[in-house]
Each structure stands twice: as structure tokens, then as C-alpha cells.
Amino acid sequence: MAGDPLQLEALFERRRGTFRPTLYTQGPWDPGAQFGGAPSALLATLVEGVGTLTPMRIARLTVDLLRPAPLAPLSPVVQVVRQGKRIQIVAASLFAGGTEVARASALRIRTADLGDAPLPTGEASVPLPAEPRDVEEEPFPGPVPARPGSRRAVEYLFEGQGGYFRDPAWVRLRVPVVLGHPSLPVARLAYTADLANGIGQPRALPVRGINADVALNVLRYPEGEWLSLAGRSWIGRTGIGQVQATISDTRGVVATVSMTRIVDPLGVRPG
């Protein structure tokens, strides 16, 4: 529909102090709810908008997904918990209709030049796969919408074999987080981190799960648009799952991800 904000080429449109989600945020589990990477990327964007006393970068971003974020306007609340010249702690929350749906805690650390000393920086050449594959060609397991909007927001390149997200998978966010503004590197990291849910997990498992949080530890901000996601996931018989993953660019490791999952038998609707 022309002029409909839900059709705009971005995850969110900022309007009158709120952020209106577009169909690019629509998740795979519920057509009326957002994919968790969308509010995570928005929270990272809000944190980066907070002023600092000295040049700083986000070193840790923890996002709690308190409840499904609806396809409805989100109101932000941002607060500096600790202000300093070496560290800053920022809290940010998103509310839908007065209900908090997601919150983040960010640790920002001052930047410094350590010179040319030999350091374990994690840098290495990581080539992109030679032949792109679009994930939309892959059937999504289970009774979910055939093409949720979040599938259109991201491009995928696969190499190797394994679970639903083959390990590693290169991903690129196709649309900006906020309409009219280029996506910040840490916001793209936050979005990609949420894709680690179930990475390396075989398709045939008789369970499915959603993540309740995302913890992102950032070594450096990525260069370029493509990010490589690789990792492992485990499931306990009490219905709690864990994910550990690494995000890289073509130079090497940029961040690590940890995630807690709520795992249910097939047929139980996540939520």
C-alpha cells in the first residue's frame, strides 16, 4: 500500500517520538510480532545516540526480550546509569502501549591506541563463499508463515553443511534500522547476534525454541556489510537451551554471542 509505513524500506520509521515497525521486522513465529533482532538493533542504535565524555564504543550489550514486540509503535526510554571518562553504562527500554517489551544494558569503554604491539586481535582473512544462496529458497521447518518479513530484511550466504543455519553463515542486513539513517555497525551486530538462535542445530529435532536474551561482547566494530556467524547450541532436558557463537567480518573476529533459549516440544507455540 503506497504511503503505508509498514511498507517502507527500513526496519523502523521514527515518528513523533516513537519508532513504528515495518513488515521487515515481522518474525517467523507470529505474523503479529517482531523478530528479536529488530528491537535489539533499535536498542543498540539508541545507546549509540547517547553522548560520552571521551570517545567510546560499546563493549558489551545485553538485551532481554521480555515479551513479543508487536508490530506497533515502540516508545523508547534511555538512561545513563554511570557516566565516566573510561566507562559508561547505559540502560535502554522499548515500550508498546505502556508495556515494556525489551530492555538493554550497554557497557561502553573508552577507545585507545595500543600501537603495533603483537596482540591476539583475532584478525585473519575470512573469504566470502563463491556462490551465494538465498535462505528464502530453503523451506522453514514447522508451521510458520512461508515468508516472514524478516526474511526479506536479510541476505544469506551459506558454506559448509549442518543445521538450519549452516555453520558458518554470512549475513547482510539489506535495509537500514531506522528510515533515512545508515545502520550503525553495532546495530548490525545486534541484529546478527539474534540470528544465532538454533545455529548448527539439526532440522529433525522434535523441539523448537526462542531466545529470551542476547548477550553481545564486542571486540571491535565490523568493517563492511557482510558478517559471518558461526557457533554451537545445546539443549538440556529441562527445556533450557544455550548458544555460543562468534561473529566475524572479512578481517576476523569482531564479537562473541551468548544466548539463553526457551525450548518446547513441537506443537507448543513459542511465546
Taking each helix axis as running N to C, give the angle between helix 185-194 and helix 37-48, from 0 to 180 degrees, rounded to the nearest 10: 160
Residue 271 lies in a domain: no
pTM of the model: 0.89
Q: Are strands 169-173 and 227-235 parallel, antiparallel or unpaired?
A: antiparallel
Confidence (pLDDT) at 142 = 45
Residue 98 lies in a domain: yes
Residue 34 lies in a domain: yes
Count of CB atoms within 10 A of residue 10's CB? Answer: 21
Instruction: Give per-residue pLDDT as tens, 55-108.
Output: 999 999 999 999 999 999 999 999 999 999 999 999 999 999 999 999 999 999
Residue 268 or 113, more confident: 113
Q: Domain with 205 in it: what CATH number?
A: 2.40.160.210
Confidence (pLDDT) at 1 = 34
Domain count, the chain: 1
Residue 210 lies in a domain: yes
Q: Are 247 and 253 in contact (CB under 8 A)?
A: yes
- How far from 10 is each of 19, 92, 223, CA to CA, in Å? 11, 21, 21
Rounded distance between C-alpha atoms, residue 239 and residue 252, angstroms: 34
51 CB-near residues (< 8 Å, 6+ apart): none
> 222: domain range?
5-111+125-265
Cβ-based burial of 201 (10 A; exposed 0-12, middle 13-18, buried ≥19): buried
191 CB-near residues (< 8 Å, 6+ apart): 37, 38, 40, 41, 154, 173, 177
Q: Are 210 and 231 in contact (CB under 8 A)?
A: no
Residue 120 lies in a domain: no
Instruction: Give per-residue pLDDT as tens, 4-57.
Output: 544 568 999 999 999 999 999 998 878 899 999 999 999 999 999 999 999 999
